Amino acid sequence: MLSKQDIAGFFAAEAELNLADYAIFEYIFECAEDPELAAASLCCEQSTAQWKRPGVDEDFRPEYGAKVISLEDCRGGSPSPPGTKSYRVRVAHPHKNFGPRIPNLLSAAAGEGPFYCPGIERIKWIDFELPASFLNQFEGPQFGLAGVRERLKVYERPIFFGVVKPNIGLPPEDFAAIAYQSWQGGLDIAKDDEMLADTTWSPLVERTQRAVSASQQAAKETGTPKFFLPNITDEVDLIPELYQQVKAVGAPMVMINSIFTGYSSLRALRRYAEVPIVSHFTGTAVFSRLPHYGISSLVATKLQRLAGADVIIMAGFGERMGCSDEEVQANVAFCLQEWGDLKPVLPVPGGSDSAETLPLVFEKIRHADFGFICGRGVYGHPKGPAAGAASLHEAWDKIAVKLS
Amino acid sequence: MLSKQDIAGFFAAEAELNLADYAIFEYIFECAEDPELAAASLCCEQSTAQWKRPGVDEDFRPEYGAKVISLEDCRGGSPSPPGTKSYRVRVAHPHKNFGPRIPNLLSAAAGEGPFYCPGIERIKWIDFELPASFLNQFEGPQFGLAGVRERLKVYERPIFFGVVKPNIGLPPEDFAAIAYQSWQGGLDIAKDDEMLADTTWSPLVERTQRAVSASQQAAKETGTPKFFLPNITDEVDLIPELYQQVKAVGAPMVMINSIFTGYSSLRALRRYAEVPIVSHFTGTAVFSRLPHYGISSLVATKLQRLAGADVIIMAGFGERMGCSDEEVQANVAFCLQEWGDLKPVLPVPGGSDSAETLPLVFEKIRHADFGFICGRGVYGHPKGPAAGAASLHEAWDKIAVKLS
């Protein structure tokens, strides 16, 4: 248990810190006892748990300790458990404790410190900020929003994605035939489902080869670029070889499920990829869904941009995805805003969408810089995938008329 | 919304399936409406979301669909939200949908399917089983419990680990000096804290070199093996090089924070490592802590053994770690039980332990096949690290006397 004096060593005035040396981690937490003790413990446990050697006159806290720079009552959100109160805390953590490395940053911000902290009942890591000199040590997106638009030559409307369905079970030839129909109908990008990767019954390279070939045919016929997006999610040491193989057969983009490969694998891919990278959100809800526990989806979005995703498919609007409109809007806005030298990325809020939901999604975004993604909305269309894809353009044209 | 007939296509009698073709995923979930509809949706969304092409007479469910093989009311655990009930469901998922790949298995079992499933309010993935022919496609631990014991020549007592403290801020020379004292006092393994990796102020290779050298000195003096365990957690594409560097200066084991590197990186490391691998649990609580949401720590333990950890440091007993005794006991037991051809591993349940808590931990485990890990319990000992380490032996000797 920290004494009053111990606690003081984990507090600092923001104005007195050299902020270039600190990452700022923001949490909400619930505690039943003294919030200052809880917040100091949070800092203690995520940095210099024992800040001196017994019998040595020293104190590692000034240089290496994480420090509370603000602590306030937090109203709103879901009610706290009986007997507890909610607090919002901002912690300044010396980034030299971990360096510009995602797994190490996460070990400090979301590891044993915060999530096994004495005196804290529940905690959610809701945001972080990095000083420019540290932020710019991450490469960030190679192509970003502008690069993706240039490659597709689509500038003034949302980019239309389709997740080929049936997502599991189609042989490569049938898969490519369906994708082809959707490109003919006007889709920009036909993609693998996040659950479909390199399987015995649909080998990734064969599927990619057939789909890319179909996309080239569709591009020739329609006079517009058509992309196939293969899912190269696999064991992380096999991803580089899979990348080379799909690249060799013409893949113009690649996708990984970055939660399950780890965000660091996304960054590793970014270091050698020569095409845009799409990061898929699958798995995010495991830690982001609950209002007072886990890690926010905004943190997830920031980490993916940090790691170099050019396109971020995220849980979008609508009841199924369990996100508030404000949460999705914040994620979309973050993708597009300035952030050090890291390029803006294309946000793709998704979830059981179709031509019918496009006006609703647009109402919430109010601009065209997003990707719109459908599975059953295109490939389950009663008149087939071409009609499904065409229905997206028709829906957008009605919006565009109102806009102009 | 699935029709009654649609729902039936996602149910199967366990006896009628060829179980060698299926992974079994077990969940508890809460729903307000028809649990059969919710369970069928869970299977639908995690496999063949759209199981046929419009206008084609086909059905992918028999071959590729996940199937409910049992569904029952689930009593116990924390109370459900008002208006909902808890159910336990076992799902047979065709493993050829993902293959022997951890990120792809996770994309099916813990991805968008279960965690964005219509009709399910909260869900926790609590366990999985794999048929032997599929399980044995994972390499599993290279050395395992027996290999670690042989290397340390410690056979009939717990293995004593110490986390060098102060964990953040010590220069390599002082770090090695403190580790040396703890080895002299009887510690088997002195290790980096999970938050300490390769930093500018304590470069990994320099720290490892000094600590290994000190361990060799201590081994000579005490006549028993002494190990230094460096934390090579870093960006995943840098881990192979860091591994080679610490191996070159004599590291006898290595540690990674496998949640934040990804379990797949643990498996990648397993493929080339020539020394035992220690997997650290930091980050697990983010998804395992809550009783009715997320992923259980047992699933985490199983995934680490699948990925090839020889030693699993896990959240242990005691109030701080927020785990029930039964949860820790189940994780410890799983490490040691038979599981296909995959070797048993050393469980290290940890959390603010010291000589004082060793009898309590032993009471809950009732055998000596575990690692006992202390930070402040050794390095914060008022008489110094050697006395701290010696206190563990003294505490164990009292237990051993009672045992014999």
ipTM for the whole complex: 0.97
Q: In chain B, how long is the greatest CA-to-CA distance?
A: 79
The C-alpha atoms of residue A47 and residue A92 are separated, in whole angstroms, by 11
Cβ contact B50–A99 (<8 Å) = no
Bin B109: left if φ > 0, else alpha if -120 < ψ < 50, else beta.
alpha
Residues of B in contact with A52 (CB under 8 A): 166
The C-alpha atoms of residue B259 and residue B102 are separated, in whole angstroms, by 12
B103 lies within 8 A of chain A by CB: yes
Mean pLDDT score, A299-304: 98
Q: How far is CA B324 from the centre of its chain?
A: 16
Q: Where in chain B is the domain with CATH 3.30.70.150?
A: 4-135
User: For residue A80, is pLDDT > 80?
Assistant: no
User: For residue B28, is pLDDT > 80?
Assistant: yes
Question: Smallest Cα–Cα separation from B119: which of B211, B204, B218, B29?
Answer: B29
Query: Residue B178: closest CA among chain A residues belongs to which residue?
Result: A53
pLDDT band at A83 (very low <50, low <70, confident <90, very high): confident
Mean pLDDT score, B71-90: 83
Query: Residue B204: closest CA among chain A residues belongs to which residue?
Result: A98
Question: Smallest Cα–Cα separation from B125: which of B287, B357, B352?
Answer: B287
Q: Work out the mean pLDDT of chain B and round it to a whole number.
A: 96
Residues of A in contact with B294 (CB under 8 A): 286-287
User: For residue B18, is pLDDT > 90?
Assistant: yes
CATH number of this structure's domain A4-135: 3.30.70.150
Fold assignment, A144-403: TIM Barrel (3.20.20)
User: For residue A339, is pLDDT > 80?
Assistant: yes
Q: What is the pLDDT of residues B323-339, one digit of tens each?
A: 999 999 999 999 999 99
Cβ contact A104–B53 (<8 Å) = no
Query: Residue B285: closest CA among chain A residues belongs to which residue?
Result: A115
A310: closest CA of chain B, how far (Å): 19
Cβ contact A237–B268 (<8 Å) = yes
B354 lies within 8 A of chain A by CB: no
Query: Residue B237: closest CA among chain A residues belongs to which residue?
Result: A268
Mean pLDDT score, B367-383: 96
Residues of B in contact with A96 (CB under 8 A): 199-201
- pLDDT at position B320: 84
Mean pLDDT score, B56-70: 96
Mean pLDDT score, A245-261: 98
User: For residue B403, is pLDDT > 80?
Assistant: no
Q: Which amino acid is at A238?
A: L
Name beta bridge partners: B162. Answer: B190, B374
- pLDDT at position A78: 61
Cβ contact B50–A321 (<8 Å) = no
The C-alpha atoms of residue B31 and residue B71 are separated, in whole angstroms, by 13
Q: How far is CA A157 from the centre of its chain?
A: 22
User: For residue A59, is pLDDT > 90?
Assistant: yes
Q: Using an 8 Å Cβ cutoff, are B135 and B206 in contact? A: no
Question: Smallest Cα–Cα separation from A159: which of A364, A352, A377, A349?
Answer: A349
For the record, the structure tokens of B186 come out as: 């009887």
Q: Using an 8 Å Cβ cutoff, are A269 and A246 in contact? A: no
Q: Using an 8 Å Cβ cutoff, are A117 and A288 in contact? A: no
Q: What is the pLDDT of residues B169-202, one digit of tens each?
A: 999 999 999 999 999 999 999 999 999 999 999 9
- pLDDT at position B225: 98
> Could you tell me which residues come within 8 angstroms of residue A341 by beta carbon, excluding any fewer than 6 positions away?
A132, A135, A136, A140
Q: What is the dihedral of CA B1, B3, B5, B11, to 10 degrees?
A: 40
Q: Where in chain A is the domain with CATH 3.20.20.110?
A: 144-403
Q: Which long-range contacts (CB under 8 A, 24 or more apart) does B392-398 make?
A: B392/B160, B392/B186, B392/B187, B392/B355, B392/B358, B393/B160, B393/B186, B394/B355, B395/B355, B395/B356, B395/B358, B395/B359, B396/B157, B396/B158, B396/B358, B398/B359
pLDDT band at B256 (very low <50, low <70, confident <90, very high): very high
A177: closest CA of chain B, how far (Å): 12
The C-alpha atoms of residue A349 and residue A263 are separated, in whole angstroms, by 19
B153: closest CA of chain A, how far (Å): 30
Cβ contact A199–B96 (<8 Å) = yes
Helix B102-109 vs helix B297-307: crossing angle, to nearest 10: 160
Residues of A in contact with B98 (CB under 8 A): 195, 197, 199
Q: Using an 8 Å Cβ cutoff, are B110 and B296 in contact? A: no
Q: What is the pLDDT of residues A163-197, one digit of tens each?
A: 999 999 999 999 999 999 999 999 999 999 999 99
The C-alpha atoms of residue B252 and residue B208 are separated, in whole angstroms, by 10
Residues of B in contact with A382 (CB under 8 A): 54
- pLDDT at position A351: 86
Cβ contact A235–B101 (<8 Å) = yes
User: For residue B78, is pLDDT > 70?
Assistant: no
A280: closest CA of chain B, how far (Å): 10
B181: closest CA of chain A, how far (Å): 12
Entry field: residues in chain A = 404
Cβ contact B376–A49 (<8 Å) = yes
- pLDDT at position A401: 86
Other residues' Cβ atoms within 10 Å of the Cβ of residue A172: 18
